[in-house]
Amino acid sequence: MAEMLTTTQAAKRADTSRPTISRALKSGDLPGNRGNDGKWLIKADDLDAWAGRRSTVHDEQCANSVHAQQKSPDFERLNEISRELDKTREALAEARQALARAEGENAANRERITDLTTDRDALRDALARAASHPQIVRPVGGLGGLWARLRSRG
């Protein structure tokens, strides 16, 4: 039976990185099988053949290409746009929270206005009824108070 290697073991054996092995597996350059656990298994013979075909010049070109992309003005502009987008998303989230608070306060204020309007109308009605039925009001401390009753006993 052929020796089977994990991606980590294959990377060590081929003297490359595990992501390079994973990319080669996904692109089909390096044959491999996935186990039931979803991990790649690679035959040692397939790995050795792939490593022999693989050019270090190609790896350097890829590395330089990625490095050049990261240094390019377009890459920097994309990073800047990404940062601006993140800031905009944060501002939008804060604005949504502020809007929710304002809507809650608005609903509470409308309820308070309704209560005050009801109280005002009730007071108007009470004043109108009182004005249409005048009552005799005895002055406090006048002749009919507590002192007058006490004087009459004594």
Q: How does pLDDT run across 123-148, given as a tens digit for each residue?
A: 999 988 888 876 655 555 555 666 66
pLDDT digits (tens, 9 = 90+) for 58-111: 556 566 565 555 566 787 888 889 899 989 999 999 999 999 999 999 999 999
Measure the CA–CA gap between 43 and 7, rounded to whole angstroms. Answer: 11
Q: Which domain holds residue 15?
A: 4-70
Q: Give the pLDDT score at 123.
A: 93
Q: Which two three-digit tokens encode residue 20? A: 């390079």
Look up the CATH number of the domain holding residue 29.
Answer: 1.10.1660.10
Residue 27 within any structural domain of the chain: yes
Residue 103 within any structural domain of the chain: yes
Residue 149 within any structural domain of the chain: no
Mark whether 87 and 51 lie in a shared domain: no
Report whether pLDDT(20) > 60.
Answer: yes
Q: What is the mean predicted confidence (pLDDT) over 29-53?
A: 89
Residue 154 within any structural domain of the chain: no
Mark whether 103 and 60 lie in a shared domain: no
Q: Which residues neighbour 7 within 8 Å (Cβ) at sequence distance 6 or greater?
A: 18, 21, 22, 25, 39, 40, 42
Mark whether 66 and 88 lie in a shared domain: no
Q: Give the pLDDT score at 147.
A: 66
